[in-house]
Amino acid sequence: MQRRVFVRSGALALVTMGLSPSFLRRTAMGMELPLAAKGKVLICLFQRGAADALNVVVPHGERAYYNLRPNIAIPAPLRGTGAAGSTGAAAAAIDLDGFFGLHPSLAPLKPIWDAGMLAPIHAVGSPSTTRSHFDAQDYMESGTPDAKGTSDGWLNRYLATSGTCEQCAPTPFRAVAMTPQTPRILEGTAPAVAMNSLEEFAVRSGGGDQTARLEALYRTGSADLIHGTGQEMFEAVKMLRTANPTQYQPQNGAEYPKSQFGQRLKQIAQLIKSKVGLEIAFADVGGWDTHVNQGGATGQLAQRLDDFAKSIAALTSDLGDGLENVVILTMSEFGRMARQNGNGGTDHGHAGAMFVIGGSVKGKKVYGKWPGLSPEQLYEGRDLALTTDFRSVFSEIATKHLGATNLSAMFPGFNSPARLGLLG
């Protein structure tokens, strides 16, 4: 509720103190925009619905995996067939290190692995025992497992507590969510923009003073959430117009899928390249709650992964050398039960998997301690056990990539981050 520090609480406080209207007016006018960061970008991609980590990063070296999932397991890579893509290979996992493999639909990510820029993390997630989507998403976004009272998201706390760059230009686009609503992860006191698409982000009045009048209506000195949000919006529209990102051609032959997710990643690339000061980008993608008929190497989950992988692969090729300054981090609220359920699907589980991608990522290695899948190794006898707290991953990326220094503000009460050594 106290989202925008300056415009909202500042001016509100002035109202209650009864200061003169002229002073109030100047205050309300003086939108303080955050300063842009130093060129590092973090792109967070949320797979909502709990992606089935065991079929995404497949433990094909684990016999128990195949016992638990007689109908939906991803077959082990064929030995000795040589090049991936040869006949029959499409139906099997793509081997990474002899034990883990990628779901065959993730083939577009294999070149990124080969280039050493992809680091999967397995058995990672929230220490909370919850199996509720809403709670688990809430915890992953607030960064405070089992503490529901946290009002802001951890990305927003990063923005709010990180030092500003004195010589950088102010920008309303330091944090952008390509979502219709501000996601929980970006809620908080630091401004963040949420939008469906760049194109849509304009007042569609054809001329006259209609737009100016509308802006005036949002600058009448009221300091509530509606006026404050409106003022931010008008600032952002002006800046985006200057950057003129509509004439955009992806580079390096990148072809984004036509899906909503693919198009949103394309627009994140546009924002990065139009140099409007983007530091934090967020997008989410649904379809992972596969209780029924999730399929194996083909089927429902395979289709979701196909779009997911093609979109990310397009983003990485489009960014090209720019990937040096970018980290892409994928996450999902929890994994799914190790055993398939009665409907050819999987019910809610515990630990999951993440991908970290970027030029500075020490890739070509699957991170995280593997807990095993035999009955006594399973969490509560049913789920993949957790060996890495998601806050360890978030902390490492925030410090090593973004230069965050105030970790205790970002993750209050989390004192023992493990160093995975993800970033060079």
As a whole number of angstroms, the distance between CA 234 and CA 205 comes to: 13
* Residue 233 engages another protein in binding (rule: CB under 8 A): yes
Q: How far is the CB of 49 from another protein (least distance, A)?
A: 3
Torsion of CA 96, 384, 350, 95, to 10 degrees: 10
Stretch that binds another protein, among 77-85, 139-147, 157-165, 186-194 (CB under 8 A): 186-194
Torsion of CA 359, 363, 367, 373, to 10 degrees: 130
Which residues 69-128 are close enough to bind another protein by CB under 8 A?
A: 70-71
* Residue 195 engages another protein in binding (rule: CB under 8 A): yes
Closer by beta carbon to another protein, 132 or else 408: 132
* Residue 347 engages another protein in binding (rule: CB under 8 A): yes
* Residue 208 engages another protein in binding (rule: CB under 8 A): yes
* Residue 419 engages another protein in binding (rule: CB under 8 A): no
Q: How many residues bind another protein (CB under 8 A)?
A: 93
In the list 9, 161, 196, 406, the residue contacting another protein (rule: CB under 8 A) is 196
Nearest to 413 by CA among 57, 107, 23, 149: 149
* Residue 287 engages another protein in binding (rule: CB under 8 A): yes
Whose tokens are 């090729």? That residue is 317
In the list 98, 207, 253, 413, the residue contacting another protein (rule: CB under 8 A) is 207
As a whole number of angstroms, the distance between CA 12 and CA 9 comes to: 5
Q: How far is the CB of 418 from another protein (least distance, A)?
A: 26
Nearest to 316 by CA among 354, 270, 272, 269: 269
Whose tokens are 């989390």? That residue is 414
* Residue 63 engages another protein in binding (rule: CB under 8 A): no
* Residue 10 engages another protein in binding (rule: CB under 8 A): no
CA distances from 48 to 138, 164, 397 (A): 11, 32, 21
Closer by beta carbon to another protein, 312 or else 326: 312
Which residues 11-50 are close enough to bind another protein by CB under 8 A?
A: 25, 28-29, 48-49
Nearest to 305 by CA among 57, 14, 61, 118: 57
As a whole number of angstroms, the distance between CA 380 and CA 18 comes to: 59
**Residue 131 in 3-state DSSP?**
coil
In the list 99, 202, 421, 424, the residue contacting another protein (rule: CB under 8 A) is 202
In the list 142, 144, 182, 388, the residue contacting another protein (rule: CB under 8 A) is 182
Stretch that binds another protein, among 162-170, 271-279, 302-310, 323-331 (CB under 8 A): 302-310
Question: For residues 158 and 141, is the Cβ–Cβ distance under 8 A?
Answer: no
Whose tokens are 């997630």? That residue is 125
The dihedrals phi and psi of 56, each to the nearest 5 degrees, come to: -95, -55
- Spacing of C-alpha 328 from chain mean position: 7
* Residue 197 engages another protein in binding (rule: CB under 8 A): yes
The dihedrals phi and psi of 143, each to the nearest 5 degrees, come to: 75, 15
Closer by beta carbon to another protein, 296 or else 363: 296
In the list 304, 336, 350, 391, the residue contacting another protein (rule: CB under 8 A) is 304
Q: How far is the CB of 263 from another protein (least distance, A)?
A: 8
The dihedrals phi and psi of 286, each to the nearest 5 degrees, come to: -100, -175
In the list 113, 158, 256, 288, the residue contacting another protein (rule: CB under 8 A) is 288
* Residue 342 engages another protein in binding (rule: CB under 8 A): yes
Q: How far is the CB of 71 from another protein (least distance, A)?
A: 5
Nearest to 72 by CA among 331, 309, 336, 332: 336
Beta bridge partners of 332: 47
Q: How far is the CB of 137 from another protein (least distance, A)?
A: 9
Q: How far is the CB of 5 from another protein (least distance, A)?
A: 15
